[in-house]
Copies of this chain bind each other. A is one copy, B any other.
Amino acid sequence: MDPKSRNLTYHHGAVSRTDRERLLGQRGAVLWFTGLSGSGKSTVSHAVEHELYRAGHLVQVLDGDNVRHGLCKDLGFSDEDRTENIRRIAEVAKLSVDAGLLVLTAFISPFRADRDAARAVVGSDRFLEVYLDVPLEECERRDPKGLYKKVRAGEIAEFTGVSSPYEPPTAPEIALPTAELTIEESAARVVAHLREHGFLAAPATDPSTDPSTGESNR
């Protein structure tokens, strides 16, 4: 065989996001958790992960633990670096959604513009903003990492909600008043939303019956 033809003859169809979603029995999406430090982003996202796993779903959690020391370890906490941090997380989430995963991101992400940019990167139909709606006083009372104490002692200069702004979502897909809910109740609300909106089932077999999932992403 001529070497050139050997390398131009592979014409199988590309594997699409819809194919991968059928394999997984779910539809890829990002649950973008946002809220003050101590509002429960990490706790609730891991509870959701656990519930989804028990139901047979593939989930990826992106949080400070696995992003700040890896992909974004070159970034600090200036406004510019925070924006770049969120941008990269959104781009990774987009790649994972394309792979068919349910992605949970757990970052304060205080600025509306950054969250809107993340939504634009991922695509609005696959982006669910989850607002952990908890008064500052309650977060400070919990203070799971002892950070508010340090802020009040003057050991941390800039801190979201105290000395730097937190811009709450205006129209989050899911709002969780975690001061009034158990962790299990919060997780159940998120899972119910996903189920009601079709994310926990494979896309329809005939793409033409479901325009939102019928596109090839190749």
Interface readout for A99-120 with B: 1 if CB under 8 Å, 0 if not?
A: 1110000000000000000000
Closest beta carbon of chain B to A40's beta carbon, Å: 6
Q: Give the segment of A89-97, A146-154, A155-163, A166-174 that binds chain B.
A: A89-97
A–B complex contacts, Cβ < 8 Å, 15 sampled: A3-B138, A3-B179, A6-B181, A7-B40, A7-B43, A9-B183, A10-B47, A14-B50, A15-B53, A24-B58, A60-B96, A62-B95, A66-B95, A66-B98, A88-B88
Whose C-beta in chain B lies nearest to the C-beta of A49? B15
Whose C-beta in chain B lies nearest to the C-beta of A101? B99
Please tell me if the beta carbons of A99 and B183 are within 8 angstroms of each other in the complex: no
| Residues in A lying within 8 Å of B, measured CB to CB | 1, 3-4, 6-10, 12-15, 19-20, 23-24, 40, 43, 46-47, 49-50, 53, 56, 58-60, 62, 66-67, 70-71, 74, 84, 88, 91-92, 94-96, 98-101, 121, 138, 141-142, 144, 178-184
